[in-house]
Amino acid sequence: MLIARRQTPTATRSAITTVESARENIVSILMKRPSPPMQTVLLCREALSQLGVLRASLVDVNARSSSEQQGVGAARAIRAALPGLTTLANEVRTHHQPTADLLRDAAARLIVSEARAEEKEVPAGARRRIRIGSDLLYHFCLTAMPVEKMLVVAGRVSGPDVIIGASFEVTGTGSVAHCRADPDRLAQALVSMSNSGCHMAMWIHSHPGLGPGGTYPSSIDTGQHSDWIRDYSSDLVSGIVVEDGWIRLWGTALEHDDVDVAIEGDGVHVTRDGRHLLLHLAE
Ligand SMILES: [Zn+2]
pLDDT in tens, 77-104: 999 999 899 899 999 988 888 898 889 8
Span from the CA of 42 to the centroid of ligand 1 (angstroms):
43
* 83: in domain: yes
Span from the CA of 221 to the centroid of ligand 1 (angstroms):
5
Span from the CA of 177 to the centroid of ligand 1 (angstroms):
7
* 123: in domain: no
268 and 136, same structural domain? yes
149 and 221, same structural domain? yes
Give ion ligand 1 contacts, CB < 5 A: 218, 221
CB 237 within 8 A of CB 253: yes
**6 — pLDDT class (breaks 50, 70, 90):** very low
102 and 147, same structural domain? no
269 and 181, same structural domain? yes
145 and 108, same structural domain? no
28 and 75, same structural domain? yes
Instruction: Give the whole-angstrom CA distance, residue 115 versus residue 109.
Output: 10
157 and 176, same structural domain? yes
**5 — pLDDT class (breaks 50, 70, 90):** very low
Span from the CA of 176 to the centroid of ligand 1 (angstroms):
9
Q: Which of these three, 68, 97, 117, is where a domain ends?
A: 117
230 and 257, same structural domain? yes
33 and 149, same structural domain? no
Query: What are the residues whose beta carbons fall under 8 Å from the beta carbon of 98, sequence distance 6 or more?
Result: 29
Beta bridge partners of 152: 168, 203
Which domain does 188 fall in, by range?
128-281
* 3: in domain: no
**70 — pLDDT class (breaks 50, 70, 90):** confident
Residue 59: helix, strand or coil by DSSP? helix
Which range among 55-59, 124-128, 172-176 has the greatest average pLDDT? 55-59
- Could you give the percent of the chain with pLDDT greater than 70? 92
Q: Which of these three, 94, 117, 140, is where a domain ends?
A: 117
Stretch 241-251: mean pLDDT? 95
Q: How many domains does the chain have?
A: 2
100 and 143, same structural domain? no
Span from the CA of 200 to the centroid of ligand 1 (angstroms):
18
User: What pTM was computed for the model?
Assistant: 0.66
Instruction: Give the whole-angstrom CA distance, residue 236 versus residue 155.
Output: 10
